[in-house]
Amino acid sequence: MRYGPSRKLPTFGHWLAGVCLFLTAWLHGVAVQAADILLTGAEESPGVQAFVQALSELRPTDNVRFQPLASLPAPGKLPASLRLILLDLPSLDWRLQESQGPATLVLRISRLQARQRLGSTQPAHLSLLWSDPPLSRQLQLIRRILPQARRIGVLFDEHSEFLLKELNLAAAPLNLQIVSERWDNTHDSRPLQTVLKNSDVLLGLDDPDLYNPKTAKNLLLSSYSRQVALVGPNVAFVRAGSLASSYSDQNDWLAILDQLLDQPPANWPRTLYPARFKVSSNAQVARSLGIEPLNDASVASALAEGERRP
């Protein structure tokens, strides 16, 4: 019986050489794709240094660095391939000088700050990552911790008035009523007293004209005297005496940046609320209002689960 020409099976050495070639090509591809990530702001504080270091550790194959705003050229003179991350409002003002330049992530900017600088426009080269919690999330938080509350009191001024439309749209499917009062002069307590009298809970908007260290005492004492809880606007107010708020901390922001930087800038969203968040509550305030102290992690988990469901 005759057989055709014999075929040699690949030896282990040939296989190993092939694997090495594949790994070399793959590692070369990773190196080529390493991103140049520049963070900038007016000052390089210890907090900024810690944030940049943490992002560097998350992305060891990328070139992650901070450069003070004052040392940068005009935005249009930066390489188009750069991933630019703005850390404060002065850096946003610098970036808005011209539309040319790399795609840009604006980290932790509030809705009011964006409105004051951009109006109702949305530059195509900017992706805005909101610092204030979504109004819909704050309403869901109220519904979970104060299930009997139906009338949601809201104070606003000329800067935060634009949020009322969104707030009413978010409240409607939850069968919640928004009771709003304009409060242009914080030295006049009548709008505050009116909204507290007609509401089951007061929802604080992230409006620093209304919610700041100078107004905190009046807001908190007035709401406490009427046994009306204040929810929001941020963690600082929870520590001072509001009942609770959702918020995103540095680890949440780092995780979001890590996800976005894995994507081509063309895929970055124009605006984004962080999907990762936590809940902070004030146990002493809860007790004074006759509310069981909250399990913050459990409440945050339930809210996140609700947001994941269609």
Tokens representing residue 183 in the block: 């409060």
More confident residue, 22 or 84: 84
Q: Is the pLDDT of residue 87 over 60?
A: yes
More confident residue, 18 or 302: 302
Q: Would the CA dihedral through 85, 89, 94, 98 be positive or negative?
A: positive
Closest to 260 measured CA to CA, from 275, 238, 278: 275
Q: What does DSSP assign to residue 8?
A: P
In the block, which residue shows the tokens 């002065």?
90
Averaged pLDDT, 278-295: 95
Instruction: Using pLDDT thresholds of 50, 70 and 90, give the confidence band for residue 75.
Output: very high
Averaged pLDDT, 56-79: 97
Q: What does DSSP assign to residue 174?
A: G
**Amino acid 23: pLDDT:** 58
**Amino acid 24: pLDDT:** 52
Tokens representing residue 173 in the block: 């499917």
Q: How far is CA 266 from CA 81, 121, 253, 273, in A?
A: 11, 19, 20, 18
Q: Is the pLDDT of residue 225 over 50?
A: yes
CB 51 within 8 Å of CB 76: no
Name residue 32's amino acid: V
Taking every pair of C-alpha atoms in the chain, what is the biggest distance, in angstroms?
A: 109
As a whole number of angstroms, the distance between CA 272 and CA 107 comes to 10
Q: How far is CA 252 from CA 51, 103, 148, 279, 301, in A?
A: 12, 22, 31, 12, 14
Q: What does DSSP assign to residue 292?
A: P
CA 46 to chain centre: 21
As a whole number of angstroms, the distance between CA 98 and CA 257 comes to 24
Composition of the chain by helix, strand, coil, percent to 5? 45, 20, 35
A 10 A CB-CB count for 88 gives 17
CB 284 within 8 Å of CB 310: no
Phi, psi (deg, nearest 5) at residue 272:
-155, 130
Q: Is the pLDDT of residue 6 over 50?
A: no
Of 31-35, 49-53, 207-211, the range with the lowest mean pLDDT is: 31-35
